[in-house]
Amino acid sequence: LASNLQRVLFAVSDKPTTYSITGILFSFNKKLDGNFEFVGTDAHRMGIATVKPNVSPTNSIAEDIQNTSSLSFVVPSKFLSNISSLILDSEVDMKISESFVKLDFSNLEVYGRLLINTFPDYSRIVPNTSCSLTVSKSEIIKSIERAMLFLSQTIRSIHIMATKNTMEVSCSNSQSGEANDSITLKDAVSVPFDLHFNADGLIEIFKHIDSEFIVIKYNESDVKAIVVEDATNKNYLYVMSIIAKR
């Protein structure tokens, strides 16, 4: 539980003006093979982690799951962050009421108030993609970090291009100059990739990937966001919006 929450907590909005997305959505749907999805977003990026719940008779949420086709509730991210050290991937008995969530550990009970709001339909945010590329996690993070040295405090945009076997990471700043870095892709791309991103948001997503390689999925045209996946673990993914070219 804890490791999957950490995969999405960083993506949650901390702005009071976006109250509806200041929590983690717990979503269950029997169409999802009986899995829970944890979803966090700040409207610019989104993380989704898929978890198989324990529906044994001793688990209090089991009855709700077995008797419904779908179930969803939003737990404040601050509450989850505060108790994350208690969870440590141990089994937790979860009980849900209309307004509260109760987490029952072996020797401790913790209560939190649910967010009563309408969480965005996250399934509509994940783009249907037709193209992909695979790149080394360590190499792309190092390239972005080098480019970020040239960014100003207010303009945080980087440019990423990929053609054939090469990815180019670049940025420019009228005061500090330009940065250009090249990375060799794992496999050649058939459709060129040419997009701008917020460097801080993108690198934070990459740092939450466990695998040595990152898979980036995108469309051939009219790209508004990309999908970022672990090359070996398909139980979580991220969506990152692009910055429109000026």
Predicted confidence (pLDDT) per residue in 166-202, tens digit: 999 999 888 888 999 999 999 999 999 999 999 999 9
In the chain, % of residues over pLDDT 70: 90
Statement: the pTM of the whole predicted model exceeds 0.85: yes
- In the chain, the amino acid numbered 196 is H
Q: Which residue has the higher pLDDT, 57 or 159?
A: 159
Distance from chain centroid for Cα 225? 13
Q: Which residue has the higher pLDDT, 51 or 136?
A: 136
Q: How confident is the model at residue 57 (pLDDT cuts 50, 70, 90)?
A: very low
Distance from chain centroid for Cα 184? 25
Nearest one of 38, 43, 34 to 2, comparing CA atoms: 38
pLDDT at 211 over 90: yes
